[in-house]
Structure formats: structure tokens, C-alpha cells
């Protein structure tokens, strides 16, 4: 919904109004927030036990993905329970939290539940076969028989890496909320776990109706997380987020129902026969659509996904929602939920309706919106006085690279788009969590309120510097690899758009480095900044995995590229094939088998028209 963005004149009052109570100096222990058990006894022993548990979890995760784990884990054929478990475990954890109602235990139950989710996803990662086609770990159980709806799950190379991002960020989000959320604690963590199920359900669903249910399931918990635990304007931000997202979703529901009720034509049935919501069946049926119908259905799905990303100019809800949400909520919204929109383009909009997606006018419009979003978000970030709002607008800019990579439609650009999704999720989530730590200490997010932090909190300043350099795509960090692949692939098919988009990297350096100079390296003139405490052990443990991922993926992105190569190649071939084959009935032999799930064999791409 287009709108005129502006820099708020009441930012100072807004941030001051939501300032938390003055915090005590950090002890390095896991926090003793309101509702925790008494902290008497032997604190060093508790720290030792907690550190030992954390080390054991890390070693277990490393073992799972190591050659030792490959030898010990059961074969993939026996892991049909894995995907349902990923959806069920968070719901069990949420039920346990609500049944217990203890704020102290709610934190630990949520942390244990999300850690189990992370370990299960490591098993999925280790047992996923990058060279296999079609859906892996597939499961299909009849759900609503009269409507042909199945509880159908499966993963391809794209879904498995985004699911891994989701399950790895959730325990960090739980830790990031440990001291900042002190009211209605059980409800907060229960909603976080329900949100986990919704996000994973979108990634794992292979039934259109189940996809829609999970898509809506994401919306409700985040609405309450913003509206109850957000900033002073949380009610307005929550309502705007809910209304904008719901409007797009309702339009998609119309498209989902139309597809489900008409797919029966594949089997010789009439539209009044039992519907079929299978994504594979929908892909074969969509190849028979006349251009006008395909265009309308493509628009229905694109609207929902464009709002969720958000794609310019459907981003009016973004500044308020990102800024007013609690720090962990902003991290999840930008790090994972925004990726659900780009994942929707990859999973449904473009493979189901390739002729509409590649129609020259539509493609040019979407490429233009992607590039405008890159520049628009960067320029708005440049003038923000609020550091959290700066990061929010930078997300609009970075996600434009994802859409550019998808519609440039080369294997390099699509793999680059997937890498940007993952890397942006890591870096932006870490930045929002770090902003929350700064706001707890300084009771402000205004850039002008800081200055000289490199002298008073050198460790925090070093972390912020590394994350900012990653955000602007410094070589050697994760941010460089994805954007480089997007621009490299886009130069092959859309050189003019690639050149204009490349200027967005320059603007990113301007807003990030200017903010760093003002916050970290200007004179230490404010006495409040001189008294700030540096990162404690909990915060170091929270940020270390994210920093390690920033450096690791910047040097060696091959684990992600290897798992997504087959699916990306199949995606490009499917869309090009569908855009080049004339409509005829039937066309079942011409439709690539299992292409949506990455099941098509790699072949030379057809020329883009």
C-alpha cells in the first residue's frame, strides 16, 4: 500500500517513553529477571552447570553433522516422523508453558524446546540428499477427506536451508528475550513457540490448503507479540501489520480455492468433484491454463507474498512493526518471517504460473519494483535518526536483491537470492538483538544518544562493526557472497537492472558506516555512555553463533550452495519451460515431473523471452 515515508519528529519522545527501568550491572550469569527463582547459593556452580549444558548441546550438534553422525544416524527412509516432529514439538512446549504458568520455568521450557528443534533440524540437514530429486522425508495423511485436503509435508533443497535458519534463530531469540520480557512471560514464550510451528509449516507444506493454514498461523502470534510486548505505538503497529498481511492473505485464499477446485480436471473430473490441493497436481494443472486465468492467479499469490516480504510499495506496515516489536520479535520478523514471502515466490507463484511470471510487462514491473526497493530502502535508511528504524529500512533494500535474483532467472542469481535470504536473516537478526541490548543499557535507540562506544564498550562495538560490515557486503563476510551472485547472474539476463541495483551497495556503505562513525568512533561526550556495561556472558553466547555464521558463510558458502543447486536449477528450468510452452490440453507430458520439489534433472536453460 503506497505511502509517503517520513522521518518521525517525535522519535525522541517515543523512545524515551518505552525506556525500560534502569538495569543493574551485568553479572555474566543467565539472568535473574522478574519471576526467576531465588539466586542465592553458589552462582559459580550454576554458571558452570549452564555452561556445561550449552557445551554439550554444541558438541551434540557438531556430532550430528559430522562423519560420525552420518554413521550413527538412522537412514533417511526411516525418518518419516522427522517433519511432523518439527511441527509438533513447539506446540507441546507451548502447552507445557501454559499449563505450568511459572515465568522462570517458561524461559527454560522455551529454551529447551527450541534447542530440541534445532537438533532435529540438524538431523534433517545431515540426512538430506542434495542430489536427490522430488520431495524428501515426504509424508501425506488425509486431513479433510471431503475437500481433498491432506496433511502433506516434504522438503527440497530450498526449504531445508530456510528451515535450518528458522530453527537456529529461535533459541537465540528466546535467549535475547530473557531479561527484556518481564510481564506475561509464559504467554510470550508460548506465542513464540506457536509462531515456530507456523513458520516451519509454511516451509514444509506440500498441500496448498495446509500452506495457507500455516501462513495464517504465523500472523496471529506475531500480532500479539507486537501488540502486548511492543513499544508505545504497539497497538497501531500491530493493527497495521495484521490488516495489511491479512488482506493479501485473503486474496491468496481465493487463488488457493480456485486452484484446488479446478485441479480435478486433470483426472477427468468436473470442478464439483473432490478438490485436490497437492502442489504437484497444481503444477501440472497450471500448465494447461489460458494466459488470462494464469495472470489473475499469479496476481493473487504475488499480492500476499509481496506484502509479507515486503516488496515496495507494499511496505507501509514495515517501519512501525519492526520498530515497535520487542527486540526478539523484530529479529524473527526480519530474519525469518520476511523470508516466507520470498519463499512463496520460489515455491508457488513462479513455478505454478511461469507464463504470467515471465510475461515481459509483468517481469519488467517486478524487476523495477525490486530495484526501486533496493534504492528507496537504502536512501531512507540514510536519514533515520533511530538506529532500529535504520536497520528496518535496510531490510527493505536487501530483500530487493532477493526479488531481483529470482526474476533475473539464472541459476547463479537464484542461488544468490537464496543466499541473500539466509545471510540477511543471520545478520539482521543479530543487529536487532544487539539493538535490544543497547536499548536496555542506554534506554534509547537514537543514534545521537550514543557516541564513543568503542571506548566504553569495546566488545559490543566490535560486534556491531562486524555485523554492519556484513550488512554492506564486505568481502569475507556472508553479506558479500549472496549479493555478488545475484548481481553476477542478473548481469547475464538483465544487465541494466543489475547496474542500477549495484548502486544500492554504495548507499548501504554510506548509511552503515556513517551510523558506525557517529555511534562508536565520535568523541565520548555523554557521561551515560561512559558508564555502560559491556556484553555479558549470556549475550556473548547468544551472539557467538551468529558471528561465526557471518564469517563461515563469507568464506565457505558451499554447504548451502550444494544443497540448493539442484532445486535452483530445477526452478529455473521449470519457469523457463512453462513460459515457453504454448497452452494446450492436455500438456501433462510436457510438464517437468516433481519440478516444484526440485525433482527435474538439470539441463541447459532455455532462452529467456
Show the cell assigned to 329: 520479535
Residue 58 is predicted with a pLDDT of: 63
Above 90 in pLDDT, residue 201?
Answer: yes
pLDDT digits (tens, 9 = 90+) for 219-238: 899 999 998 888 888 888 88
Percent of the residues in the chain that have a pLDDT greater than 90, as a whole number: 30
Q: Which residue has the higher pLDDT, 18 or 569?
A: 569
pLDDT (mean) for 125-129: 87
Query: Which of 87-96, 336-345, 401-410, 445-454 is least confident?
Result: 445-454
Residue 444 is predicted with a pLDDT of: 82
8 A C-beta contact, residue 447 and residue 518: yes
Segment 541-546 long-range contacts (CB within 8 Å, at least 24 positions apart): 541/54, 541/175, 542/172, 542/175, 542/176, 542/433, 543/430, 543/433, 543/434, 543/463, 545/168, 545/172, 546/172, 546/426, 546/427, 546/429, 546/430, 546/433, 546/467
Residue 4 is predicted with a pLDDT of: 41
CA-wise closest residue to 450 among 344, 349, 531, 329: 531
Residue 44: count of CB within 10 angstroms of its CB: 9
Helix (H, G, I), strand (E, B) or coil at 213: helix
Above 60 in pLDDT, residue 196?
Answer: yes
Residue 454 is predicted with a pLDDT of: 86
Residue 52 is predicted with a pLDDT of: 61
Amino acid at each position: 500500500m503506497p505511502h509517503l515515508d517520513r522521518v518521525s519528529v517525535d522519535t525522541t519522545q517515543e523512545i524515551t517513553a518505552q525506556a525500560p527501568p534502569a538495569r543493574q550491572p551485568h553479572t555474566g550469569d543467565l539472568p535473574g529477571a522478574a519471576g526467576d527463582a531465588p539466586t542465592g547459593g553458589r552462582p559459580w556452580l550454576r554458571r558452570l552447570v549452564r555452561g556445561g549444558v550449552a557445551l554439550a548441546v554444541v558438541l551434540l550438534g557438531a556430532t550430528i553433522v559430522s562423519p560420525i553422525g552420518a554413521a550413527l544416524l538412522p537412514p533417511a527412509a526411516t525418518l518419516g516422523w522427522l517433519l511432523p516432529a518439527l511441527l509438533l514439538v513447539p506446540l507441546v512446549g507451548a502447552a507445557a508453558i501454559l499449563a505450568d504458568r511459572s515465568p522462570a520455568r517458561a524461559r527454560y521450557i522455551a529454551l529447551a524446546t527450541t534447542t530440541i528443534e534445532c537438533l532435529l533440524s540438524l538431523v534433517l540437514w545431515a540426512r538430506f540428499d542434495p542430489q536427490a530429486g522430488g520431495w524428501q522425508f515426504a509424508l501425506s495423511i488425509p486431513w479433510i477427506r471431503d475437500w481433498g485436503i491432506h496433511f502433506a509435508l516434504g522438503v527440497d533443497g530450498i526449504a531445508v536451508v530456510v528451515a535450518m535458519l528458522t530453527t537456529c534463530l529461535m533459541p537465540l531469540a528466546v535467549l535475547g528475550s530473557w531479561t527484556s520480557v518481564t510481564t506475561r512471560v509464559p504467554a510470550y514464550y508460548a506465542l513464540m513457540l506457536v509462531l515456530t510451528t507456523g513458520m516451519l509449516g509454511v516451509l514444509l507444506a506440500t498441500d496448498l490448503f495446509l500452506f495457507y493454514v500455516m501462513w495464517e498461523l504465523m500472523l496471529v502470534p506475531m500480532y500479539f507479540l507486537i501488540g502486548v510486548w511492543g513499544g508505545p505505538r504497539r497497538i497501531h503497529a500491530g493493527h497495521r501489520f495484521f490488516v495489511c498481511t491479512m488482506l493479501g492473505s485473503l486474496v491468496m485464499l481465493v487463488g488457493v480455492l480456485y486452484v484446488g477446485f479446478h485441479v480435478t480436471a486433470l483426472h477427468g473430473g468436473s470442478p464439483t468433484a473432490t478438490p485436490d490441493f497437492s502442489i504437484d497436481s497444481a503444477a501440472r494443472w497450471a500448465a494447461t491454463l489460458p494466459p488470462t486465468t494464469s495472470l489473475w492467479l499469479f496476481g493473487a499469490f504475488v499480492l500476499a507474498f509481496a506484502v509479507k516480504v515486503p516488496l515496495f510499495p507494499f511496505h507501509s506496515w514495515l517501519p512501525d512493526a519492526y520498530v515497535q516489536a520487542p527486540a526478539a520479535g523484530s529479529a524473527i520478523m526480519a530474519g525469518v518471517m520476511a523470508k516466507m514471502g520470498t519463499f512463496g515466490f520460489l515455491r508457488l507463484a513462479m513455478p505454478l504460473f511461469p507464463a504470467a511470471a515471465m510475461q515481459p510487462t509483468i517481469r519488467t514491473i517486478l524487476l523495477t519494483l525490486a530495484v526501486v526497493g533496493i534504492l528507496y530502502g537504502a536512501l531512507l535508511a540514510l536519514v533515520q535518526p533511530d538506529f532500529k528504524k535504520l536497520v528496518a529500512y535496510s531490510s527493505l533494500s536487501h530483500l530487493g536483491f532477493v526479488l531481483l535474483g529470482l526474476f533475473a532467472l539464472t541459476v547463479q542469481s537464484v542461488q544468490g537470492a537464496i543466499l541473500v535470504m539466509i545471510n540477511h536473516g543471520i545478520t539482521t537478526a543479530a543487529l536487532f538483538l544487539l539493538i535490544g541490548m543497547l536499548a536496555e543499557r542506554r534506554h534509547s535507540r537514537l543514534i545521537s544518544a550514543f557516541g564513543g562506544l568503542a571506548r566504553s564498550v569495546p566488545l559490543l562495538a566490535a560486534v556491531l562493526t562486524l555485523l554492519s560490515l556484513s550488512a554492506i557486503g564486505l568481502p569475507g563476510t556472508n553479506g558479500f557472497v549472496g549479493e555478488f551472485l545475484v548481481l553476477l547472474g542478473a548481469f547475464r539476463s538483465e544487465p541494466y537492472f543489475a547496474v542500477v541495483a549495484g548502486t544500492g551497495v554504495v548507499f548501504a556503505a554510506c548509511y552503515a558506516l556513517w551510523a558506525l562513525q557517529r555511534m562508536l568512533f565520535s568523541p565520548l561526550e555523554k557521561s551515560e555512555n561512559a558508564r555502560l556495561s559491556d556484553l555479558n556472558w549470556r549475550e556473548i553466547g547468544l551472539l557467538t553463533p551468529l558471528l561465526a555464521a557471518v564469517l563461515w558463510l563469507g568464506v565457505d558458502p558451499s554447504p548451502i550452495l550444494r544443497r540448493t543447486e539442484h532445486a535452483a536449477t530445477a526452478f529455473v528450468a521449470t519457469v523457463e519451460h512453462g513460459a515457453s510452452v504454448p497452452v494446450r490440453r492436455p500438456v501433462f507430458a510436457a510438464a517437468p515431473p516433481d519440478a516444484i520439489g526440485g525433482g527435474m534433472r538439470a539441463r541447459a536453460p532455455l532462452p529467456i523471452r
